[in-house]
Amino acid sequence: MRLLISFLLFVVFFTNINASDKLFFLPGDKEAVSARLLKEINISRKSILIVMNEFNYKKIAIDLIRAKKRKNLDITVYLDFNKNNKSSIVNLLRKNKIDVKLIRTRMNASFILFDKDVLMFGSLNLNKNAFKGNYEIIMFSDDSKNINKAQLFLQKTLKN
């Protein structure tokens, strides 16, 4: 029994010690956030899941389209209908075979899940203002608890 408890404590401790969270504040960290976002898009192997209130930043849309064409990634974007239903970015993404779903319930959540391994979340929306001067907070996390919570949140949101 002691061996089992010791093993479980080791696993819990080891998991938490290896989880790395990186916190950023914009506008000060805008270059670091842009670089990390591009890095995560480019190293994703299987999937990118985006949940945002607003997405109108063409540069990021182009980065996603290039990654999709290069690796045939499964990219799904969930956006607030009221903010994005007439967006040229939505049309651009769809034209390039990126699945865009407009949610009719008010979507204020903002997160991106890369390969179900890395979660980016915070106040950031994918628009130019967020990267040009807005005060934003963003965290990148590979903590499985955070990732699971984000996935569960999306599942519950889509049921409603």
Per-residue pLDDT in tens (0 to 9) along the chain, 160 residues: 555 454 444 544 544 445 689 999 999 999 999 999 999 999 999 999 999 999 999 999 999 999 999 998 999 999 998 888 788 999 999 999 999 999 988 888 999 999 999 999 999 999 988 988 899 999 999 999 999 999 999 999 887 6
Residue at 13 is within a domain: no
Residue at 9 is within a domain: no
Structural domain count, the chain? 1
Q: What is the CATH number of the domain that holds 128?
A: 3.30.870.10
Residue at 6 is within a domain: no
Query: Is 28 within 8 Å of 138 (Cβ atoms)?
Result: no
The whole domain housing 146 covers 19-159
Residue at 7 is within a domain: no
Helix axes 30-43, 58-71, angle to 10 degrees: 20
Residue at 12 is within a domain: no
